[in-house]
Amino acid sequence: MSPNTDHSPKSATIDPAEARQFADVAAHWWDPKGPFRPLHKLNPARLDFIRKAITDHKKCDAGSLRPFQGQQMVDLGCGGGLICEPLARLGADVTGLDVSDETIAIAQSHARSMGLPISYLKASAEDLADEGKRYDVVLALEVIEHVADPKLFLKAVRQLVKADGW
C-alpha cells in the first residue's frame, strides 16, 4: 500500500494528529504484547459487558452461540477490529468504522484471514449519519477521547441508533 498523507475523512470530529498516531501503529493491532496489549487484556471483560447489555436490551437468547443473529452493529473507531470480530462470531452483521487507511487495511486483512464477513469503512460517524444509516447497536469504545468535537460526535452517534437500538 502506498503511503497516504490524508488519513482522515473530512470531518469536524476527526483530529488529524490522533488519526496519524493510530495509523503509525496499525500493524500492531493484533499483537497481544504490542502497544494495544491493554485492549487485548480488557477485551474479555468488555465483551462480557457488551454481550449482557445487548442481550438484555434486545431480548436476545443469551444462551445461544449466535445471540446477535440479525442485529446490525457498528463499531465507531474500530481500530484493528478487536471487538468487531467477536461480535461477528456471535452472529451480528458488523460494520467497523475508522479514519485511517492503515487501520482499516489491518482490520480487513485479519477478518479475511478469520473468514469473518465484516464490512470495514474509512469514514466518520457523521458520514454515516448524513447517509441516513441506522443500527441496532452503536459502539464507540475508547474513542471519545480521540475526537476533536465530542458534542458533534455524540450527536452523530445518537443519529445512528435505531429507535429501539442500544
Which residue from 36, 33, 143 is spatially nearest to 80, judged by alpha carbons?
36
Tally of CB atoms within 10 A around 25: 18
In a domain, 136, yes or no: yes
pLDDT of residue 1: 35
pLDDT at 25: 84
**What span, in angstroms and rounded, lies between the C-alpha atoms of 108 and 53?**
27
Tens-digit pLDDT profile for residues 108-159 = 999 999 999 999 999 999 999 999 999 999 999 989 898 889 999 999 999 9
Residue 6 lies in a domain: no
Which cell numbers hold the place of 103? 487501520
Does residue 87 belong to any structural domain of this protein? yes
For residue 139, CA distances in Å to 31, 78, 99, 148, 160 come to 22, 9, 15, 18, 10
User: Which amino acid would we find at residue 66?
Assistant: R
- Containing domain of residue 123, as a range? 16-60+67-160
CA separation for the pair 127, 34 (Å, rounded): 31
Within a domain: residue 35? yes
Q: What pLDDT is recorded for position 10? A: 56
Which one-letter DSSP state was computed for residue 147? B
pLDDT band at 3 (very low <50, low <70, confident <90, very high): very low
Residue 70 has pLDDT above 60, yes or no: yes
Q: Tell me what pLDDT residue 153 has.
A: 94
Q: Give the pLDDT score at 65.
A: 94
- Structural domain tally of the chain? 1
What is the pLDDT at residue 7? Answer: 40
Taking the model in full, what pTM does it have? 0.88
- CATH for 116: 3.40.50.150
Cα separation of 28 and 144, whole Å?
21
In a domain, 2, yes or no: no
Give tens-digit pLDDT for 6-61: 444 457 787 777 777 877 888 999 999 999 999 999 999 999 999 999 999 988 88
Residue 156 maps to a domain: yes
Longest C-alpha distance within the chain, in Å?
A: 46
89: CB partners within 8 A, 6+ apart: 66, 116
Q: Determine, yes or no, domain membership for 4.
A: no
